[in-house]
A and B are shown apart, each in its own frame.
Chain A
Amino acid sequence: MLCDICGKNQATVHLTEIVNDQMTELHLCEPCAQAKSQEMEQQFGLGDLLAGMVDFEKPAAEKDAVAIKCPNCNLTYADFKKIGRLGCGECYSTFKKYLVPLLKRIHGSSQHLGKSPLKVGKVLKKRIDMQELRLKLKNAVDSEAFEEAARLRDQIKEIEKKQSQGGEGTKGDQDAA
């Protein structure tokens, strides 16, 4: 029997699903079944599962983590593990180390590319442009588009040169944090 979703591989997982009181049987191959189970997990209160997505190399590392407390709102990492929600914007800085892998798993990326608030100002806008350029450079290198990569590298160097001359400092960064 072939897989109901991809229609290519042999179905090895057999699943009964009840949607709107209607029972459907699904016969899936291993990869499709995994995708399906992720989809189902997301329906069961995603928040509770979030904290479980952070991998700790050693149990001891997790033990250290749970005691960390956000200085702004007093949420601890243990609280986050329990409720799956952060306590305030500052928590993102407090728990940064643990959130990087988490955000990567949720979104497939940990680099913002959208708009930024007008208030944050021009310095930040430049930094974001730079981050976008660096990401493009990385993609160009990964896809072996070396001419494009060289162009981007020069562009980045040029901007960095200007910035160090202009002496634009870290104030914008502090405003943003």
Chain B
Amino acid sequence: MQLNDLLSHTSEWLKGTGPNCDVVISSRLRLARNLIKSPFPHWAGKEQTEEVLKAVEDVANKDECLKRATIFRLSDMDIVDKQFLVERHLMSLEHTQKANNKAVIIDDDEVVSIMVNEEDHLRIQVMQSGFNLFEAWAIINKIDDCLGKELSFAFMPEWGYLTACPTNTGTGMRGSVMLHLPALVMTRQIDRVLAAIAKLSFTTRGLFGEGTQATGNFFQISNQVSLGHSEDDIIESINSLIRQIIEQENQAREAMLSKNRPLLEDRVNRSFGILKSAYIISSDETIELLSMLRLGCDLGILNVGKSLDRRAINELFIITQPAHLQKIESKKLSSQERDVKRAELIRKKLQVV
């Protein structure tokens, strides 16, 4: 697989399918793993990270769990390629920072990705569309076992998997669920919800993970605690929290629909109008407006016929991102040029609707 092949794919997390896919965009699990004795990437020298990368490459090349996966070394990528993978949620923003011997392993379906020499030697990630953490666990657990047969992971019985940062020690697992909560934002209940989440030792992030702000009513909620609970318990605790938030969002949607339908219809269809007519548009504004389109699609109040479904809207979220635009145009674009190209692309995509 070549990096550019991904352009014609729909990312797993944007398929718009799976349980509760109207409110839940995607579910993601990651496991942090380190090789025994080798210094963690931030503390390692060039030869040491090279050793780790070679060991992982050897295993990945023969591992049955990763048959249809490709290894990309970050030293072979330019900045647009790196940003492109961040936009597709296949690697973190931190992984784009300059350092020795970083790589990312991606399977053809974009369900599995493994970052090598990020904060830990291995960051294994599995992504599922919709609300589906247990399925993600089944997949990632198998991959972890497969890799663990070949590689010796740093582990202590009392503290579990040992990680560079003590906040990940134990299971090394972080589960994140990406939610679309426009009704809770519009009814001004979101602050109350986010405050409750923080109290329960969960964190909230934006659409593109760590260090990003919440835009367009998208919120990524993750567990913080990784030691002292089994993986199943951690997943169940995330699930029970998410179930409550889904219910609150659905209640808020119903309340708005019954009390103030014209207001919703106006905002949704006005957003469509702007997207269809704009000649210059920023990525922030695009996400805000697409969020409304998605809500309209979920509620059946978007008056554009059936051809604009959730998947088509989801696709617009990703292809209008800066690196995706530049990949599509196969050249570097300034921010102003992107705003023009973005508007052009959206007009083209929405014209056929």
Contacts and interface: CB of A to CB of B under 8 A. Distances in A.
Contact of A106 (B153, B164, B166, B229): B166
A112 B170 contact: yes
Interface string B16-35: 00000000000000000010
B166 A102 contact: yes
Contacts of A20: 213-215
Contacts of A23: none
A142 to B, nearest CB: 15
A99 B203 contact: no
Contacts of A109: 225, 227-229
B87 interface: no
B43 A103 contact: no
Interface residue range, chain B: 35 or more
B199 interface: yes
Nearest to B201: A108
Contacts of A117: 148, 152-153, 155
A39 interface: yes
Given A119-B152, A176-B157, A114 B171 contact: yes
Contact of A85 (B148, B155, B165, B213): B165
A24 interface: yes
A38 to B, nearest CB: 9
A83 interface: yes
Nearest to B164: A85
Contacts of B58: none
Given A89-B36, A176-B157, A107 B43 contact: no
Nearest to A7: B192
Interface in A89-127: 89-90, 92-93, 99, 102-103, 106-120, 124, 127
Contact of A75 (B37, B43, B166, B171): B43
Nearest to B154: A89
Contact of A107 (B144, B170, B203): B170
B76 interface: no
B162 interface: yes
Contacts of A36: 195, 198
Contacts of B34: 88-89
A92 B169 CA distance: 10
Interface stretch (A42-50, A56-64, A143-151, A157-165): A42-50
Contacts of A46: 165, 167
A113 B229 contact: yes
Contact of B164 (A86, A93, A103): A86
Nearest to A91: B162
A86 B167 contact: no
Contact of B155 (A83, A120, A127): A120
Contacts of B37: 72, 88-90
A73 B155 contact: no
A90 to B, nearest CB: 7
Interface of A: 5, 19-20, 24, 35-36, 39, 42, 46-47, 50, 72-73, 75, 83-90, 92-93, 99, 102-103, 106-120, 124, 127-128, 131, 173, 176-177
Closest 6 pairs (CB-CB, A-B) = A109-B228, A89-B154, A112-B160, A114-B171, A107-B227, A87-B43
